[in-house]
Chains A and B, each alone.
Chain A
Amino acid sequence: MKLKTKLTLFNAISKLVIVVLFVLLVPALIKNISHSYVDNNLIKQKNKLLQIVKTQGIKNYIPDGEKDGSYYLPLKEEYLTIEEDTIPNHFIDTIKNEKRRVERDTIEYRILSHTFTLNNQHYLLEIGKSVATLDETSTPLQNIALAVLIGMILLTILADVVYTNHVLKPLGLIIKTKLIGRKFPNFGLYREVKTSTSDFQYLDISIHKMTEAIEAAFQKEREFISNASHELMTPISILQSKIENMFEREDIVDEFKVRLLEMQKILNRLKSITKTLLLISQIENEQFLKEDKISIKELLQEVYDEISVRLPEKNLTFDIYVPEDTVLVNVNKFLIFNLFFNLVNNAIKYNNEDGEIIIAAEKDNNTLVVNITDTGIGISPEEIPFIFNRFKKFRQSMQQDSFGLGLPIVKSIADFHNIIMEVHSEKNVGSNFRLIFPTDLIA
């Protein structure tokens, strides 16, 4: 997930959680507030009433001859009673919720109870406010709070998105221009990403410094290869010419000619190894263009033409099952040819008498899968991880004239083209090399 998305999501979720918590708390809060407000009110009313009773006497509330007096608002949301308290030594002064039966209804009230003495007479005063009226106000309040808060949250989320977008823009630019699609080792010019965020400035300059270092290393390596090849190839060239010139002289006896021939063979071995190592280095340094367009069927036919002379020795059969119209693009023909040549060459070299080699290609989900299967001696599971290592030879018992660079070439060519290679093999049954060509190599 992108950093921007993560930040926005976190902001939105955290704010939502806070709002939901708040909205859930609103009823309790409102209840609390309104209770204390009501309680205050009740106490004020009580004090006022006591004041009236003090100055004007109890008659105002308890008509003469009666023991108590009750007063209700028409809808019974409030009431007031004063009665003579007959319980001796009964003093209370409380506010609590209680139910009262008024006419036929039972209503819950917030009730202030207070006892006082006037003219040696004990009185009990009750002032009540219906609880329902209190709750009625809390629901609309809750709704309003919710609406206002959601509106505010949407506004802040919008502001967050706009701001994170703005702040993270340089990061996106760094990723897009400096990391994605960057082709090693061709980096191009350094272009500074404009930003006032120091972290991004640091990141940008660090990436730049690192690419510079890599570029320098690549350049060094390239120079090394160029120089090393010059230094190695020139002496080989001199020796080869000397041997060839000597071989041509008529005054040299056959015995010496045979020895010259042996020298030529050994020199050729040295030459092959050097050329192969250089090729691998050149591939790894991306010194090849990938601009060719080739029909895979024609290419395999060319491989067959080169190599078919090696088949009769072991009486091998060789079959190619490839769709006619499969064309590879953005590849290097020379390298792809060498990739197949080496795989087929191995399939021949390590095959058994009357064996089989099958190359089958098929399109699979926009990729092209090519299987090269042989009925040869196979590779044991513990050897498979190492078969691509340079100069690693397992099948020495075969006494083959090879130096263990065939598969490393194949591997570096496959990597260079982003071709995935899978090896399946069973000892004494055969090997299967599966090449998966990515979509961008298929026309």
Chain B
Amino acid sequence: MNVLIIEDEEALAHELEIFLTNHNYITEICYTGRSASEKIATNLYDFILIDLGLPDYEGLDLLKEAKKNNPDAACLILTARAEVYDRVRGLDLGADDYLPKPFSLLELQSRMQAILRRKFGLKQNIVELGDFLVNLTDRVITCHEDAVNTITKKEFDLIAYLILHKNRTLTRTQLSEHIWGSIINDDYDSNYIDAHIKNIRKKLNVYAPPDWLETVRGLGYKIKINA
């Protein structure tokens, strides 16, 4: 997977590169709109991450160019601009997703995966976890043919996020940012993730012990899947 990172903030571009390389993407970085415009015109990418706030280029123009020259590429807009209408305009112009800064790298990865599934994944995305089968496409969990229907939407979101970032410890902050990120409220520390995990365990335990859902002491939670 080839990713073009268009980001004038070098430190951020660098972190994006490290993260995506670790996750087996091949990355290229452009710090200016002009060089990005050239790259878009000559190379083909699977993903183009566009920062809208470039000093030398109108980010939405780059999006138009990308749609023209790289029609198969998925375009993600990353922006720190607080303009509400930017989002609407960006999506209208054909962006596949829109991620406001500051965002979690995990969230970026999750959005990229979602785009891939939308583009190519007609096949059912089913993950085996101990005695459970988690169908990420239809959002259902089964245990030996029995459907586990006590799990709420929020709880499923948590499980799916942990599965997506399997074998990695996710902190409470990262998890709560994922499931409550769009809500603006004045709690900055959500220990309610613990309550959610407790509920998930209790509900699943009725069918079989969910040993794969691990608590990493002092750090967070992780779902362990052996290759």
Measured CB to CB, the residues of A under 8 A from B are 225-226, 229-230, 232-234, 236-242, 244-245, 247-248, 254, 257-258, 261, 264-265, 268-269, 271-273, 275-276, 278-279, 282, 287-289, 305-306, 309-310, 312-313, 334, 337-338, 341-342, 345, 349, 401-406, 409
Contacts and interface: CB of A to CB of B under 8 A. Distances in A.
Contact of A241 (B53, B105, B218): B105
Contacts of A409: 184-186
Q: In this complex, which of A236, A261, A282 has the most chain B Cβ atoms within 10 angstroms of its Cβ?
A: A261
Nearest to A312: B195
Contacts of B184: 275-276, 279, 338, 342, 409
Contacts of A272: 186-188
B82 A278 contact: yes
Given A240-B102, A244-B19, A306-B180, A230 B185 contact: no
19 contacts: A226-B82, A237-B101, A242-B15, A244-B104, A245-B18, A245-B19, A247-B169, A247-B171, A265-B189, A268-B173, A268-B177, A279-B184, A305-B152, A306-B180, A310-B192, A313-B195, A342-B184, A403-B186, A409-B186
Contacts of B218: 254, 258, 261
B19 A237 contact: no
Interface string B88-125: 00000000000011111110000000000000000000
Interface string B153-195: 1100000000000001101011001001011111111001001
A264 B101 contact: no
Given A268-B177, A309-B192, A309-B196, A245 B83 contact: no
Given A309-B154, A309-B199, 8 more contacts: A234-B12, A238-B11, A241-B105, A245-B22, A247-B169, A269-B189, A342-B186, A402-B186
B197 to A, nearest CB: 10
Interface of B: 9, 11-12, 15-16, 18-19, 22, 53, 80-85, 100-106, 152-154, 168-169, 171, 173-174, 177, 180, 182-189, 192, 195-196, 199, 218-220
Given A237-B103, A269-B188, A230 B53 contact: yes
Nearest to A280: B184
B153 A241 contact: no
A271 B105 CA distance: 15
Given A244-B19, A254-B218, A254-B219, A401 B187 contact: yes
Nearest to A400: B187
Contacts of A338: 183-185
Q: In the complex, which of the residues A233, A241, A342 has the most CB atoms of chain B within 10 Å of its own CB atom?
A: A241
